[in-house]
Chain A
């Protein structure tokens, strides 16, 4: 793991989670087409980011490596929330309240990522 430069990777992860929020925001606005583009970016954190696929999502190895560097607990939480986002996306009749609830979960997770990465301690090797 390239610890020193992982700051760029973590910003990218933050970006993709933020894009997930935009996707849910667009769902709340009933703009499914635009929502798809943004959610696609969010799901690209995972190995299988086909929005229609069911089953457990597995983070890309490089994403997992970066997250684990900062806080291993976030990995499980991200997988869990992503699964909820996928369910909402696949559910044609999801209510605004349900979408809003998943939105809140994802936003809470995003806040944790910000919090963890700003208090990160330093690295262990050289490249």
Chain B
């Protein structure tokens, strides 16, 4: 793997999340960040929260007023502290292109950009994104003007049911942003966190390689979608 950038969240230069504010009075003194990893199964969500807050000696399910810049639009909403960013995007912002395919952060269908970094939006609380900027698939392009990567997905038949596709696009674009000339093995490794059950990945890999080629040759066509 000579020269390959291991694509861990750190390597994406993630934004500094407002973790410090989590324990402030502003957020009810609830230590939410530690629960993020715990309450991934929604049935035990409240239990986890209770357990965590009991340890820390506080429990607040009060709503918080937050504002998140989504695709350039400031969206203000009152959310419970347990609301995940993905739920905020789908339910408060009404942007349903970000999908939920699992409850354990395995599938990557909810991948979005947070202040330019690629994140699974089920691993971020909505309150953590307060004041930050999110780009969802709806904000990336519209059907009549696809990005080169999206056009490559179309040309290489890299999607079937389309459910994993928005997350796949963000994960693949993150690779291309850092590694403009990836090998096939690098593409496969970079997409490791995004599950697809339809395509067997081959056409996705080929689409990413094609997009890399298009970008390298500066053939940044903005093609009219068929």
Note whether A and B form a binding pair: no
Query: Which residues on B are within 8 Å of A, measured CB to CB?
Result: none
Q: Which residues of A contact B (CB under 8 A)?
A: none
